[in-house]
C-alpha cells in the first residue's frame, strides 16, 4: 500500500482493518472478475494520497463491508474493533446514497449536492466517498451500458462539482474526464484526438517555455511562483460544445501562471514576457486596472512559443490569486435570501484552502479537524416521492415539509409517511428521508395546534392564512375571548363603548383599521399575538385614565360649598334664551348632571324642573292629561363655566378591613369632595357603601366610578339616580 509521507499513521491498525476487510470480502468478486478486496485497497490508496488520517484509511478499507457482507458484520462490531471514529465514518459511507436522477433542473441538482454534504455529517465521509467514486469510475467499463451512463451522469453533476468546491482539483479533473468519456464517447474522442494531433508531438513544449521564463525572471531578481497548466479534454470540450468556439479560437490550451508580490512587478513581468515572445494582438487583457465584475484581477496575454504554439500567460499578485481562487463569486451559488450561505461558504472555502495547500505548510491536525465539521447543521434535506430534494431548517416536521411543497398539500394533509411507514405529523424529518404527505379532499383543514408544532415561518404563515380566510366566524369568537382574558387579567373594568374605544385605538396602532371584528379575527387566527397587543391596550387604557383623571384634578379651586342647585341656569330651554324668566331647577328625585340626557317639566307654581329622561317620576307625569304641554326640550349649556353637582355612587364589594380606607384614599388622591358616606345593612354578606361626591359632569363621575372599580374587592359601582341624599353631611345642603 502506498504511503507517501512518514507521518504518524497507525500501521498496525490499518493492517488489521485490511485483514478484517479481506476476510469479509473473501469469495466476492467485482464484475471485472478481480477479487473484491482490490477495490477497498485502491480506495484506501487514494485516501492515503490525500493525506487523510489513519481512521479514514481504515474506513476506506472497510467502507463496503457493512453493506455487502450482511450478517457477518455491523457497525457495532466495527466500533468494537476499530473505535467509534472509524465506525461513524463507515456508517456515514454506508448511508450516503443518492437517488438515480436524470433531467433534473439545476436547482434540484444543487439541492442534491447539498443534501449529499449534509448527510455526510463529517466531510471526511465525502472525501472517502469521492475516492470510492474515482475508483469506480476508473473501473466503470465492467458495468452495463445503462449503469455506466447513470453513474457517469451522477459523477459529472454531483461528485465532480463537490470535488471542485472542496479544493480537490486533480480528482475533479479525472472525474470529469472519465464521466465525459462515458456520456459522450464520440465527442470526447474527437476532442482528445484533436488535442493530440495539434499538441501531441509538443509534449515538452510548455516545460521549455516555463524554464526559459523562470531563468529570465531569476536574472532580474524578482521573487515569483511559476506554474504551467495544460487544459483538460473536458474544459476544451466545454469551450467547443457549450461556448460554441472552434478549436482554433482556443488559445489557452497551454497556460502559464506567474504570481509575484506587487502590482508593479506584474507589469514588469508582462514586459519581460513580451520581450521574449511574440504576442497575439487583441489577446491582451488588463484586468488589474479594469477588474472583472466578480473582482477578478490579473493580466492576461497570449504569446506564440518558439515552436509556433500559442500559450496564455496569467500574471497576478498573491492577493489577486487568493481572490481568484476563493473569491465569493467563484463558489457556491445559493438561492438568494438563505441565511446559512456565508457560513457554509466560509467553511467550504477553508477546507478547500487546506486541501490545496502543499503538505509542507499544512498542519495535519488542523486539516483533519476541519474535515470533522458538520457543515449543514442548520439544514436538512429530504426527498419527495418523486425524488425532488426539499431543503428545510433543521428540526422541521412533516407539516413543514407539506407546506414547503404547496399550501394546498399542507391544508389538506391528514397524515404522513416516511420511507413508506406512517408517522405522526409532528415527526421531525431527517436527512435523506423520503417523505410522503397523505391528503384528503374532505380534510377540515389545519389544526390550530399545528402552529405550535411547525418550525418554519413559511408553514406558520400559510396555516394562519388558512385560518384567516376559512374560519373567520370562529376566529372572532376565539379572538374576543383572548382579548376579554387580557382585560380580566389586568382588572380593566370599563363600559362597552370605553372598551371598544380603547381596543380600536390599540388596533389602529397595529395597523388594523377596520371594525373590531377584524382585530378579533387577527387574534383568533394567530396573525396578531397577545404579546404584541397587550402593551398597546395597556398604553391606551392608561391614556384614557389619565385624561379622565386630569379632568378632575385640573379644577383649580377645591369646592368648599356647592352652590344651591336651584340657582343654576346652565340649562338652555327651547324657545327661551338662557332659561329666560322661568325659574329652572334640577330635579332632586333624579339629580341630573351635565352629560345626562335631560328633559324639562313645567311644575305647577314652581317653574321648570329638569329631570334625567330615565327618571321614574317622569313616568307618572307622562300619564297626566296635560303632559304634552308641560314637557319642554332642554339641553346643557356647554358655554357655562363648570360647576359642581352632587351625585351618589353605590358601591358593592367584598367585606374587607381596608376597603373604606382604600376608597377614601383614592378619592382624596383624585381631589374629590365627599359630602356623605352611608353603609346600609345588606343581607347577602357583601358590603354596600353609598357615597355622595361632587362632580363636574357625567364623564367625571364615570371616571371616578371606574377608578373605584379597580380597587380590589369592589364588584360594582353604580350611580344612583335617586335624589336621596345624606342631608346631614352634604356640604351642598
User: Which residues are tagged catalytic?
Assistant: 67-68
By the criterion CB under 5 A, which residues form the site for Mn ion? Answer: 64, 132
Is 573 within 8 Å of 584 (Cβ atoms)? Answer: yes
Q: How far is the CB of 63 from Mn ion (least distance, A)?
A: 6
Q: How far is the CB of 39 from Mn ion (least distance, A)?
A: 6
Is 90 within 8 Å of 72 (Cβ atoms)? Answer: no
Our CB check for Mn ion shows the closer of 64 and 540 to be 64
Q: How far is the CB of 93 from Mn ion (least distance, A)?
A: 8
Q: In the chain, how many H helices and how many E strands?
A: 29, 21
Q: Which residues contact 272 (CB under 8 A, 6 or more apart)?
A: 213, 216, 217, 220
The continuous run of DSSP H or E covering 459 comes out as: helix 457-470
Is 425 within 8 Å of 410 (Cβ atoms)? Answer: no
Q: How far is the CB of 235 from Mn ion (least distance, A)?
A: 28
Which phi-psi region, left, alpha or beta, contains residue 695 (left: φ > 0; alpha: ψ -120 to 50)?
A: beta
Q: What residue number has its CB nearest to Mn ion?
A: 132
Q: How far is the CB of 146 from Mn ion (least distance, A)?
A: 19
Our CB check for Mn ion shows the closer of 44 and 375 to be 44
Q: How far is the CB of 431 from Mn ion (least distance, A)?
A: 21
- Report d(CA 273, CA 267) in Å as an integer: 10
Q: How far is the CB of 137 from Mn ion (least distance, A)?
A: 11
Question: By C-alpha distance, which of 434, 432, 407 is closest to 423?
Answer: 434
Q: How far is the CB of 65 from Mn ion (least distance, A)?
A: 10
Is 450 within 8 Å of 399 (Cβ atoms)? Answer: yes
Our CB check for Mn ion shows the closer of 87 and 416 to be 87
Alpha helices, H only, 96-224 = 106-120, 123-138, 145-154, 160-165, 169-183, 185-199, 205-219
Our CB check for Mn ion shows the closer of 64 and 548 to be 64
Residue 459 has φ and ψ, to the nearest 5°, of -65, -45
- Report d(CA 161, CA 175) in Å as an integer: 10
Q: How far is the CB of 132 from Mn ion (least distance, A)?
A: 4
Q: Which residues contact 313 (CB under 8 A, 6 or more apart)?
A: 255, 256, 257, 258, 273, 299, 300, 301, 302, 303
**Using N-to-C axis directions, what is the helix angle for 169-183 and 145-154, rounded to 10°?**
140
Our CB check for Mn ion shows the closer of 137 and 708 to be 137
Our CB check for Mn ion shows the closer of 21 and 549 to be 21
Our CB check for Mn ion shows the closer of 132 and 379 to be 132
Our CB check for Mn ion shows the closer of 68 and 637 to be 68
Cell numbers describing residue 356: 490545496
Our CB check for Mn ion shows the closer of 94 and 720 to be 94
Would you mind telling me the total number of residues written for the chain in this entry? 733
Q: Which single residue is written with the C-alpha cell 358616606?
A: 677
Pair type for strands 645-653 and 435-439: unpaired
- Report d(CA 560, CA 555) in Å as an integer: 13
Task: Measure the N-to-C terminal CA separation of the chain; round to a whole number of Å.
Answer: 117
Amino acid at each position: 500500500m502506498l504511503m507517501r509521507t512518514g507521518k504518524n499513521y497507525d500501521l498496525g491498525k490499518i493492517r488489521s482493518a485490511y485483514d478484517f476487510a479481506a476476510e469479509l470480502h473473501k469469495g466476492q468478486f467485482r464484475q471485472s472478475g478481480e477479487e473484491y478486496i482490490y477495490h477497498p485497497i485502491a480506495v484506501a490508496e487514494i485516501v492515503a494520497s490525500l493525506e487523510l488520517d489513519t481512521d479514514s484509511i481504515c474506513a476506506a478499507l472497510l467502507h463496503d463491508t457493512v453493506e455487502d457482507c450482511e450478517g457477518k458484520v455491523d457497525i457495532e462490531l466495527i466500533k468494537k474493533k476499530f473505535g467509534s471514529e472509524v465506525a461513524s465514518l463507515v456508517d456515514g459511507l454506508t448511508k450516503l446514497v443518492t437517488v438515480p436522477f436524470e433531467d433534473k433542473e439545476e436547482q434540484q441538482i444543487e439541492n442534491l449536492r447539498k443534501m449529499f454534504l449534509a448527510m455526510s455529517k463529517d466531510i471526511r465521509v465525502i472525501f472517502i466517498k469521492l475516492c470510492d467514486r474515482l475508483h469506480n469510475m476508473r473501473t466503470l467499463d465492467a458495468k452495463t451500458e445503462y449503469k455506466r451512463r447513470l453513474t457517469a451522469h451522477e459523477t459529472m453533476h454531483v461528485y465532480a462539482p463537490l470535488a471542485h468546491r472542496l479544493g480537490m482539483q486533480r480528482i475533479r479533473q479525472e472525474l470529469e474526464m472519465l464521466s465525459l468519456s462515458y456520456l459522450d464517447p464520440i465527442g470526447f474522442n474527437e476532442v482528445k484526438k484533436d488535442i493530440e494531433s495539434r499538441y501531441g508531438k509538443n509534449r515538452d513544449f510548455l516545460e521549455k517555455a516555463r524554464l526559459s521564463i523562470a531563468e529570465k525572471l531569476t536574472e532580474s531578481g524578482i521573487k515569483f511562483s511559476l506554474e504551467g497548466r495544460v487544459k483538460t479534454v473536458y474544459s476544451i470540450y466545454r469551450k467547443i460544445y457549450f461556448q460554441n468556439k472552434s478549436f482554433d479560437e482556443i488559445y489557452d490550451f497551454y497556460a502559464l501562471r506567474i504570481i509575484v508580490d506587487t502590482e508593479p512587478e506584474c507589469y514588469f513581468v508582462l514586459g519581460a514576457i513580451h520581450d521574449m515572445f511574440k504576442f497575439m494582438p487583441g489577446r491582451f487583457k488588463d484586468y488589474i486596472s479594469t477588474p472583472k465584475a466578480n473582482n477578478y484581477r490579473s493580466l492576461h496575454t497570449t504569446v506564440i512559443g518558439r515552436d509556433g504554439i500559442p500559450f496564455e500567460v496569467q500574471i497576478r499578485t498573491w492577493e489577486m490569486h487568493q481572490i481568484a481562487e476563493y473569491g465569493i463569486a467563484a463558489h457556491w451559488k445559493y438561492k438568494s435570501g438563505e441565511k446559512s450561505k456565508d457560513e457554509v461558504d466560509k467553511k467550504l472555502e477553508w477546507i478547500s484552502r487546506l486541501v490545496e495547500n502543499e503538505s509542507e505548510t499544512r498542519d495535519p491536525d488542523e486539516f483533519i479537524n476541519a474535515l470533522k465539521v458538520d457543515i449543514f447543521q442548520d439544514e436538512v434535506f429530504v426527498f419527495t416521492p418523486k425524488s425532488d430534494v426539499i431543503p428545510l431548517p433543521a428540526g422541521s416536521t412533516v407539516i413543514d415539509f407539506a407546506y414547503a411543497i404547496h399550501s394546498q398539500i399542507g391544508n389538506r394533509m391528514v397524515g404522513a409517511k416516511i420511507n413508506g411507514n406512517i408517522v405522526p405529523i409532528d415527526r421531525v424529518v431527517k436527512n435523506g428521508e423520503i417523505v410522503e404527505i397523505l391528503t384528503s379532499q374532505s380534510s377540515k383543514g389545519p389544526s390550530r395546534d399545528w402552529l405550535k408544532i411547525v418550525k418554519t415561518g413559511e408553514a406558520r404563515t400559510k396555516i394562519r392564512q388558512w385560518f384567516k380566510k376559512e374560519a373567520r366566524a370562529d376566529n372572532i369568537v376565539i379572538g374576543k375571548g383572548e382579548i376579554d382574558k387580557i382585560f380580566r387579567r389586568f382588572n380593566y373594568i370599563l363600559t362597552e363603548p370605553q372598551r371598544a374605544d380603547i381596543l380600536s385605538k390599540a388596533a389602529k396602532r397595529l395597523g388594523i383599521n377596520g371594525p373590531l371584528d377584524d382585530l378579533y379575527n387577527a387574534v383568533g387566527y394567530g396573525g396578531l399575538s397577545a404579546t404584541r397587543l397587550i402593551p398597546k391596550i395597556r398604553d391606551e387604557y392608561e391614556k384614557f385614565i389619565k385624561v379622565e383623571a386630569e379632568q378632575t384634578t385640573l379644577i383649580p379651586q377645591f369646592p368648599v360649598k356647592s352652590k344651591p342647585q336651584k340657582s343654576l341656569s346652565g340649562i338652555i330651554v327651547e324657545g327661551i334664551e338662557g332659561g329666560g324668566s322661568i325659574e329652572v331647577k334640577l330635579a332632586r328625585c333624579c339629580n341630573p348632571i351635565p352629560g345626562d340626557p335631560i328633559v324639562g317639566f313645567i311644575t305647577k307654581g314652581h317653574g321648570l324642573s329638569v329631570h334625567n329622561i330615565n327618571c321614574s317620576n317622569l313616568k307618572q307625569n307622562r300619564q297626566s292629561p296635560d303632559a304634552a304641554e308641560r314637557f319642554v326640550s332642554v339641553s346643557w349649556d356647554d358655554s357655562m363655566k363648570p360647576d359642581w353637582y352632587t351625585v351618589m355612587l353605590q358601591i358593592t364589594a367584598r367585606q374587607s378591613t381596608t376597603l373604606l380606607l382604600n376608597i377614601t384614599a383614592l378619592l382624596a388622591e383624585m381631589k374629590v369632595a365627599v359630602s356623605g358616606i352611608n353603609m346600609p345593612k345588606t343581607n347577602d354578606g357583601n358590603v354596600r357603601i353609598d357615597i355622595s361626591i361632587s362632580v363636574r359632569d357625567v364623564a367625571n363621575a364615570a371616571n371616578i366610578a371606574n377608578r373605584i372599580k379597580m380597587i380590589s374587592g369592589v364588584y360594582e359601582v353604580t350611580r344612583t339616580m335617586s335624589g336621596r341624599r345624606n342631608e346631614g353631611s352634604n356640604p351642598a345642603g
